[in-house]
Chains A and B, each alone.
Chain A
Amino acid sequence: MSAWYPFFRVIARLLTRVLARPAVSGRSNIPRTGPFFLVANHESILDPVLVQGFCPRAVHFFTKSTQFSSSAVFRWFLPRVGAIPARRYRVDPQSVRTALRMLRRGDGVGIYLEGERSWDGALQPFRRGSIRLILGAGAPVVPCSVSGTYRAWPRWSRRRWRSRVFVRYGEPLHFGVHDTRAAREAALDGTSERISSALLSLRDETLAD
Chain B
Amino acid sequence: MTASGDARATRIGARELCRRIDAHGGPMTRATAPDGTIEYTARAMVSWRIAEDAVWHGGVLRGFSESMGPAGEGAITVDRDTVSVDGGRTGAGRWRHLDIGAVQASSSSLQLSLPGERLVQLRFIADSPRRWETLMRRLIADAWKRAGRGRVIEYQPRIVARP
A64 at the interface (CB under 8 A from B): yes
A33 at the interface (CB under 8 A from B): no
B66 touches A87 (CB 8 A): yes
B104 at the interface (CB under 8 A from A): yes
Distance A65 CA – B63 CA, assembled complex (angstroms): 8
B98 at the interface (CB under 8 A from A): no
In the complex with contacts A66-B106, A68-B55, A128-B160, A90-B65 CB distance below 8 A: no
Q: Contact flags (1/0) for B151-163 with A, using CB distance below 8 Å?
A: 0011011101000
Q: How many residues of B contact A (CB 8 A)?
A: 32
Task: Specify which chain A residues have a CB less than 8 angstroms from the CB of B117 in the assembled complex.
Answer: 90
A2 touches B53 (CB 8 A): no
Task: Specify which chain A residues have a CB less than 8 angstroms from the CB of B68 in the assembled complex.
Answer: 66, 69
In the complex with contacts A89-B111, A90-B157, A79-B104 CB distance below 8 A: no
For A86, A89, A98, A101, the residue with the greatest tally of chain B CB atoms inside 10 Å of its CB is A89
Distance A184 CA – B128 CA, assembled complex (angstroms): 37
B65 touches A88 (CB 8 A): no
A197 at the interface (CB under 8 A from B): no
User: Which label, helix, strand, loop or mixed, suits the secondary structure of the B interface?
Assistant: strand
A89 touches B101 (CB 8 A): yes
Distance A87 CA – B68 CA, assembled complex (angstroms): 13
Distance A91 CA – B102 CA, assembled complex (angstroms): 10
Distance A83 CA – B60 CA, assembled complex (angstroms): 13
Checking B56, B64, B67, B107 against A87 with a beta-carbon cut-off of 8 angstroms, the contacting residue is B64
| CB closest residue in chain B, given A70 | B107
Distance A9 CA – B128 CA, assembled complex (angstroms): 34
A92 at the interface (CB under 8 A from B): yes
B58 touches A68 (CB 8 A): no
Q: How many residues of A contact B (CB 8 A)?
A: 31
Task: Specify which chain B residues have a CB less than 8 angstroms from the CB of A101 in the assembled complex.
Answer: 60
A119 at the interface (CB under 8 A from B): yes
In the complex with contacts A65-B64, A85-B64, A90-B130 CB distance below 8 A: no
B104 touches A119 (CB 8 A): no
Distance A102 CA – B7 CA, assembled complex (angstroms): 58
Distance A89 CA – B136 CA, assembled complex (angstroms): 14
Distance A75 CA – B111 CA, assembled complex (angstroms): 21
A89 touches B65 (CB 8 A): no
Q: Contact flags (1/0) for B45-78 with A, using CB distance below 8 Å?
A: 0000000110111101111111110000000000
Task: Specify which chain B residues have a CB less than 8 angstroms from the CB of A115 in the assembled complex.
Answer: 104, 156
Task: Specify which chain B residues have a CB less than 8 angstroms from the CB of A87 in the assembled complex.
Answer: 52, 63-66, 157
B interface list, Cβ under 8 A from A: 52-53, 55-58, 60-68, 101-102, 104-107, 111, 113, 117, 119, 130, 153-154, 156-158, 160
A-B contact pairs, 29 of them (CB 8 A): A65-B66, A66-B68, A66-B106, A66-B107, A68-B65, A69-B53, A75-B65, A79-B57, A84-B62, A85-B62, A85-B64, A86-B63, A87-B64, A88-B102, A88-B156, A88-B157, A89-B101, A89-B111, A89-B113, A89-B157, A90-B101, A90-B102, A92-B63, A92-B64, A101-B60, A115-B156, A127-B154, A127-B156, A156-B130
Contacts A69-B65, A80-B57 supplied; 14 other A-B pairs, CB < 8 Å? A2-B58, A65-B64, A66-B107, A68-B53, A69-B66, A85-B62, A87-B65, A89-B101, A89-B102, A89-B156, A92-B63, A92-B157, A94-B61, A98-B61
